C-alpha cells in the first residue's frame, strides 16, 4: 500500500511539473508602465513613455516627458527605466497548437485528406494547452494565426491570443481566411542533405486549370439556389463577398502572376501572398492590386543556386522600398518550435537595410493589417487591446530579448515554461545565480 501511495504521489508530482500554465484572470486593476522606451509598432518610438491600460484596453499612450500624469489614477504603477516596451508579436500562417510531437500521430492535426478542403477549420483542433505555446510567449509572441496545411486548398484559419482555457476563449478573429497552395512551376528532387536537380513541373498547366475550375464551380454554386447544400462550396462564400481573405502560398514569379490572375478572374476581393520568394520581381503588380506579402522564413538559404546568398535576408527591404505591405511568417521545418525565433527573423532584416522600427512592424502592425486585425491589435495605440510586453533589452536581438512582464488583453500572463523550470532547477543545483 505504501508503495502504491508513493507511486501515486510521484505521478502527481510529475504531472504538476509538466502542466500547462493556468490562463490569467481578467484584468481588474488599472496598470501604468512608465519610463520605458516604447516601440509603438507603427514606426514611432517614445524614449520616455507612459503606457496605461484598464479593462484590457490601452487608455494612455504618451510621452512622460511632455505629459502631466496622475499616478494615483492607476491601481498599479510599474517603473521600467532602461527597459523596452513592445506590442505583442504576431505569428501568421502558424501550426502552433495543431501538432505537439511530430512522431506521435495522435498529436498531429494540421491537415486533412484531399486536395480541396476549404471547409476544414483549424480552430476547433487548436490545443490551448500546447507546451510549445509557452516557449513562444516568453520571447514576445502573443498572437498567432492558426492555419491548416494541405494541397491546393487546405482549409480555413483563425486568429487566437495565446493564453486561454479553450479555443472558444482564445479566438480573436474566427475563420479569417482560406489557405491555398498554388501549383509549383518547378520541383526539387532529393532532400536537404543531398539535394537533387530542379525539374520543370510538367503538370503545372493542368493543375492550375484544376485549381481555377474549382473556384469557378464554387462561384457558380454560390450564385445559384441549390437544392442540396454543398458545405465545401459554402465555406468559400467569404472570399467572394470580401469577408474573408484568400491566402495564397506562392514563391516563384510565374506562380504569383498566375495566382493573382485567377483570383481577379474569379472576383476574389482580398488576397495575400505567403512565401513570396520572387515577389520583388512582381512588386508593381502586388501594389496595383493591394496585395500584401507574408515573407517566408528569413533564416533560409536561397532557393536557386545563382541567387544572391543574402537574398532571403534583404527581400523585406526590397519589397518595402517598392511599396509592398510586408509581414513575416515562419513555416517550414520545425516551424512550431521555431515560433519563438520570429522576433530574431525580424532582427536580421535590420542588418540588411531596415530600421529597427521598420523591422518591428514586420511582426506587429504590418502583419495585423494583412490579417485584418489592425483595428484592435498590432500597435500601442489608445483603444486597442493591451497585448504587450516589457523586455530588459532589444526584443529583436536574441542576446537581449528577456521579458520582465507580458500582458494579453490586459491580463498578466506567466512567463514560465518547462524549459525555464529546468533552467532554474539546474542553475540552483550548481549554485549559478
**Tell me: the pLDDT tens digits for 310-319?**
999 999 999 9
Residue with the larger pLDDT of the pair 288 and 3? 288
Ranking 55-69, 189-203, 252-266, 327-341 by mean pLDDT, the lowest is 189-203
Rounded distance between C-alpha atoms, residue 83 and residue 390, angstroms: 7
Residue 257: exposure state from Cβ atoms within 10 A (0-12, 13-18, ≥19): middle
Q: How large is the average pLDDT for residues 22-46?
A: 96
* Cβ contacts of 352 within 8 Å, gap of 6 or more: 310, 313, 314, 316, 317
For residue 10, the model assigns a pLDDT of 44
C-beta atoms surrounding 56 within 10 Å: 15
Above 90 in pLDDT, residue 244? yes
CATH code, 22-88+378-415: 2.30.40.10
Task: Express each pLDDT in 218-229 by its tens digit.
Answer: 999 999 988 899
Nearest Cα neighbor of 339 from 56, 63, 131 is 131
Spell out the domain ranges in the chain: 22-88+378-415, 89-377
User: Which CATH number is associated with domain 89-377?
Assistant: 3.20.20.140
* pLDDT score, position 16: 44
pLDDT value of position 187:
84
Distance CA 341, CA 351 (A): 16
Q: How confident is the model at residue 13 (pLDDT cuts 50, 70, 90)?
A: very low
Q: What is the pLDDT of residue 22?
A: 84
The strand ranges marked E within 309-402 are 326-328, 388-391
For the segment 286-298, what is each residue's pLDDT rounded down to a tens digit? Answer: 999 999 999 999 9
* 114-128, 135-149, 262-276, 416-430: the lowest-pLDDT one: 416-430
Looking at 133-251, which runs of residues are DSSP E strands? 141-146, 152-161, 171-181, 186-190, 195-200, 245-250
**Higher-confidence residue: 114 or 272?**
272
**pLDDT at 14 exceeding the cut of 70:** no
**pLDDT tens-digit series, residues 360-406:** 999 999 999 999 999 999 999 999 999 999 999 999 999 999 999 99
Mean pLDDT of 74-78: 97
pTM tops 0.85: yes
In our burial notation (b when 16+ CB lie closer than 10 A, e otherwise), range 118-148 reads bbbbbbebbbbebbbbbbbbbbbbbbbbbbb
Quick one: pLDDT at residue 291? 98
The DSSP 8-state label assigned to residue 77 in this structure reads E
Q: In angstroms, rounded to a whole number, what is the distance separating the alpha carbons of residues 41 and 360?
A: 6
Q: d(Cα 174, Cα 125) in Å, to the nearest integer?
A: 13
> Is residue 430's pLDDT more than 60?
yes
Output the average pLDDT for the chain.
93
Amino acid at each position: 500500500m505504501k508503495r502504491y501511495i508513493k507511486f501515486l504521489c510521484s505521478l502527481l508530482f510529475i504531472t504538476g511539473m509538466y502542466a500547462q500554465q493556468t490562463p490569467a484572470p481578467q484584468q481588474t486593476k488599472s496598470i501604468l508602465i512608465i519610463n520605458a522606451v516604447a516601440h509603438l509598432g507603427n514606426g514611432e518610438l517614445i524614449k520616455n513613455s507612459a503606457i496605461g491600460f484598464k479593462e484590457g484596453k490601452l487608455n494612455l499612450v504618451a510621452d512622460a516627458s511632455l505629459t502631466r500624469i496622475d499616478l494615483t489614477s492607476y491601481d498599479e504603477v510599474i517603473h521600467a527605466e532602461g527597459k523596452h516596451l513592445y506590442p505583442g508579436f504576431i505569428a501568421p500562417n502558424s501550426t502552433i497548437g495543431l501538432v505537439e510531437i511530430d512522431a506521435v500521430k495522435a498529436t498531429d492535426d494540421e491537415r486533412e485528406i484531399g486536395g480541396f478542403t476549404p471547409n476544414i477549420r483549424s480552430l476547433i483542433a487548436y490545443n490551448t494547452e500546447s507546451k510549445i505555446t509557452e516557449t513562444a510567449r516568453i520571447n514576445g509572441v502573443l498572437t498567432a494565426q492558426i492555419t491548416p496545411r494541405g494541397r491546393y486548398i487546405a482549409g480555413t484559419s483563425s486568429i487566437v491570443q495565446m493564453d486561454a482555457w479553450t479555443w472558444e476563449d482564445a479566438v480573436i478573429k474566427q475563420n479569417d481566411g482560406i489557405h491555398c497552395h498554388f501549383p509549383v512551376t518547378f520541383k526539387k528532387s532529393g532532400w536537404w542533405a543531398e539535394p537533387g536537380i530542379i525539374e520543370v513541373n510538367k503538370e503545372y498547366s493542368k493543375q492550375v486549370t484544376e485549381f481555377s475550375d474549382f473556384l469557378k464551380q464554387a462561384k457558380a454554386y454560390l450564385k445559384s439556389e441549390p437544392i442540396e447544400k454543398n458545405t465545401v462550396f459554402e465555406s468559400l462564400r467569404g472570399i467572394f463577398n470580401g469577408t474573408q481573405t484568400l491566402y495564397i502560398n506562392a514563391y516563384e514569379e510565374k506562380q504569383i502572376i498566375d495566382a493573382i490572375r485567377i483570383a481577379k478572374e474569379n472576383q476574389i476581393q482580398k488576397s495575400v501572398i505567403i512565401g513570396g520568394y520572387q515577389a520583388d520581381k512582381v512588386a508593381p503588380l502586388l501594389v496595383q492590386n493591394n496585395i500584401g506579402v507574408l515573407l517566408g522564413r528569413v533564416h533560409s538559404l536561397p532557393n536557386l543556386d545563382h541567387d544572391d546568398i543574402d537574398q532571403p535576408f534583404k527581400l523585406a527591404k526590397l519589397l518595402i522600398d517598392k511599396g509592398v505591405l510586408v509581414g513575416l511568417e515562419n513555416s517550414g521545418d520545425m516551424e512550431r518550435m521555431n515560433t519563438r525565433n520570429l522576433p530574431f527573423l525580424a532582427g536580421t532584416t535590420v542588418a540588411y537595410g531596415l530600421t529597427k522600427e521598420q523591422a518591428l512592424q514586420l511582426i506587429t502592425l504590418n502583419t495585423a493589417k494583412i490579417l485584418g486585425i489592425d483595428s484592435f491589435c498590432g500597435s500601442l495605440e489608445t483603444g486597442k487591446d493591451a497585448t504587450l510586453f516589457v523586455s530588459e533589452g532589444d526584443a529583436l536581438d536574441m542576446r537581449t530579448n528577456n521579458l520582465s512582464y507580458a500582458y494579453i488583453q490586459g491580463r498578466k500572463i506567466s512567463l514560465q515554461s518547462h524549459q525555464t523550470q529546468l533552467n532554474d532547477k539546474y542553475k540552483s543545483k550548481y549554485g549559478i545565480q
